[in-house]
């Protein structure tokens, strides 16, 4: 059986569009796509809250001098959008990290303050080659579940361990339990000293070894500012996708002259961890659409419940039922179509639950519920149905 691509599913389910008038590789998310994005962001916010991340916002464009300091202009220029206005050059940010360095630098920090964890669901822009752009899985406008941790060297093991454990928990939520771990080392184009690179690489190896995690070394595939751990996760179609990245960076803090006051009252340079767990939200949504064949889990589905009155006589009762489900994303099919046609339309749109109401349900103050697998419960109360919904939501309790 041939599976539909996320491009086909995205169109059928009203997730996103890419009209010709929009810049290539920059999707527009419609209402349903926006809901999915927000639910993923809310999931990550719950995890971030557990580890006291400070959520911030940084602008989409910065003066080009910022990217000279960070090293991106020298090592990453071919993927940057650079523009000029009023004799000044600006860059659409390809990364959030330099902005987060400026936030760290805006205050005096003590060793007692560390680690400082900063998160941003920020959109960055990378000038990928046009031939490589594919639907949502390879785009030029990339919204990351981004995070940067500023810490002391003695805190590296605990922080990297927490990120790895969190990533594995999140994969389980999406029924992705098979994964491969890669450790990528110094590339040909890099910044910083070999001593710092060796130190960072050994620190990541130590974290993986202490957790007894198997990993493959990918020589020369690290970021230009530091080595990294990447996790490739297998989906329901037996394909591996690179999701989580954890990059250990001794270089950017030095380039931005970041420091903290140590226990002896002297200035010391922090270490920086760059981390994203889902990676690009656009890419992850594309992966999920194919992983679930469009049948997203209840908590993530843009439309969770559709109420089908068998005729217009029961529309008012349908509205009453809808009002009792105000905590969920509910619609009511008030068209003149036959019940079979209404059911078919709900299935086509991958709605997790449909509620059928007619004379019997109205008289007994009950509902008939059918799920996407055609399992049906007849004449149950709305309270009983809400219990079923709550049980499904428990699957993502952290």
Can 326 be counted among the known catalytic residues?
Answer: no
Per-residue pLDDT, averaged over 83-95, amounts to 93
Return the pLDDT at 199.
86
Of the candidates 309, 301, 310, 391, the residue with the CA atom closest to the CA atom of residue 351: 301
Pick the catalytic residue: 274, 283, 291, 342?
274
pLDDT of residue 327: 92
pLDDT value at position 394? 78
- Percentage of the residues of the chain whose pLDDT score is greater than 70: 99
Residue 313: name the closest of 358, 360, 378, 354 by CA.
358
In whole angstroms, what is the distance from residue 79 CA to residue 70 CA? 15
Q: What is the pLDDT of residue 335?
A: 92
Asked if pLDDT for residue 276 goes beyond 80, the answer is: yes
Find the mean pLDDT for residues 259-285: 96
User: Where does the chain hold its CATH 3.30.930.10 domain(s)?
Assistant: 6-291
pLDDT single digits (tens) 197-220: 888 899 899 889 988 889 999 988
Question: pLDDT band for position 396 (50/70/90)?
Answer: low
In angstroms, the Cα distances linking 177 to 6, 96, 122, 171 are: 21, 29, 27, 6
The token pair at 113 is 């303050």
pLDDT of residue 397: 55
> What are the pLDDT digits (tens) for 242-266?
999 999 988 899 999 999 999 999 9
Residue 69 pLDDT grade (very low, low, confident, very high; cuts 50, 70, 90): very high
3 or 255, which is more confident = 255
Whether 118 shows a pLDDT value over 90: the answer reads yes
Token pair of 341 as six digits: 């046609």
Which of 93-107, 278-292, 344-358, 383-397 shows the lowest per-residue confidence on average (mean pLDDT)?
383-397
Question: What rounded mean pLDDT belongs to the chain?
Answer: 92
Classify domain 305-396 at the CATH class level.
alpha beta
Helix, strand, coil abundance in the chain, percent, nearest 5: 40, 25, 35
Predicted confidence (pLDDT) at residue 61 exceeds the cutoff of 90: yes
Say whether domain 6-291 belongs to CATH 3.30.930.10: yes
Query: What is the structure's pLDDT at 225?
Result: 81
Name the catalytic one among 126, 186, 350, 370. 126
Residue 220 contacts residue 190 (beta carbons within 8 Å): no
Of the listed 145, 146, 249, 333, which one is catalytic? 146
CB 105 within 8 A of CB 97: no
Between 211 and 14, residue with greater pLDDT? 14
Which one from 6, 117, 228, 306 is the annotated catalytic residue?
A: 228
Helices 156-173, 31-50: inter-axial angle, 10-degree rounding: 140
State the span(s) of the chain assigned CATH 3.40.50.800. 305-396
- For the ranges 1-10, 190-199, 322-331, the maximum mean pLDDT occurs at 322-331
Of 37, 72, 93, 97, the active-site residue reads 97
Total-model pTM: 0.93
pLDDT of residue 74: 87
Q: How confident is the model at residue 46 (pLDDT cuts 50, 70, 90)?
A: very high
- pLDDT at 178 > cutoff 80: yes
Specify the pLDDT at position 1: 60
| Catalytic site includes residue 376 | no
Answer yes or no: 148 catalytic: yes
> Could you say which of 93, 148, 186, 370 is catalytic?
148
Burial of 293 (0-12, 13-18, 19+ CB in 10 A): middle
Distance CA 66, CA 69 (A): 5
Mean per-residue pLDDT for 131-143? 89
pLDDT digits (tens, 9 = 90+) for 156-175: 999 999 999 999 999 999 98
Q: What is the pLDDT of residues 343-388, one digit of tens each?
A: 999 999 999 999 999 999 999 999 999 998 889 999 899 999 999 9
pLDDT value of position 76:
87
Residue 53 has pLDDT above 80, yes or no: yes
């Amino acid at each position: 059986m041939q599976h539909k691509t996320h491009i086909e599913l995205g169109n059928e389910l009203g997730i996103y569009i890419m009209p010709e008038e929009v810049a290539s590789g920059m999707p527009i998310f419609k209402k349903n796509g926006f809901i999915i994005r927000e639910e993923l962001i809310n999931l990550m916010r719950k995890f971030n809250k557990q580890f006291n991340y400070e959520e911030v916002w940084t602008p989409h464009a910065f003066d080009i001098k910022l990217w000279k300091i960070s090293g991106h202009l020298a090592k990453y220029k071919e993927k940057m959008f650079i523009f000029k206005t009023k004799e000044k050059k600006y860059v659409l940010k390809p990364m959030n990290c330099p902005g987060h360095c400026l936030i760290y630098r805006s205050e005096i920090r003590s060793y007692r303050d560390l680690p400082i964890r900063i998160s941003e669901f920020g959109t960055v822009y990378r000038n990928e080659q046009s031939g490589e752009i594919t639907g949502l899985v390879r785009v030029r406008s990339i919204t990351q579940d981004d995070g940067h941790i500023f810490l002391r060297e003695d805190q590296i093991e605990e922080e990297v361990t927490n990120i790895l454990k969190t990533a594995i928990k999140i994969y389980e939520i999406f029924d992705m339990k098979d994964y491969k771990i890669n450790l990528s080392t110094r590339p040909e184009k890099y910044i910083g000293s070999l001593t710092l690179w060796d130190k960072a690489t050994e620190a990541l190896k130590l974290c993986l070894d202490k957790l007894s995690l198997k990993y493959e070394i990918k020589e020369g595939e690290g970021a230009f500012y530091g080595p990294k751990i990447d996790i490739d996760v297998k989906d329901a179609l037996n394909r591996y996708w690179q999701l989580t990245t954890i990059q250990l960076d001794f270089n950017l803090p030095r380039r931005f002259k970041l420091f903290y006051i140590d226990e002896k009252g002297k200035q010391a340079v922090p270490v920086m961890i760059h981390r994203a767990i889902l990676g690009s939200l656009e890419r992850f949504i594309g992966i999920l659409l194919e992983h679930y064949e469009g049948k997203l889990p209840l908590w993530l589905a843009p439309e969770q419940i559709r109420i089908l009155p068998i005729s217009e006589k029961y529309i008012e009762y349908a509205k009453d039922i809808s009002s009792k489900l105000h905590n969920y994303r509910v619609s009511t099919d008030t068209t003149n179509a036959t019940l079979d046609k209404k059911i078919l339309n709900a299935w086509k749109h991958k709605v997790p639950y449909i509620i059928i109401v007619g004379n019997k349900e109205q008289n007994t103050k009950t509902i008939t519920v059918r799920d996407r697998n055609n399992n049906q419960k007849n004449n149950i109360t709305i309270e009983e149905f809400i219990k079923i919904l709550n049980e499904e939501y428990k699957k993502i309790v952290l």
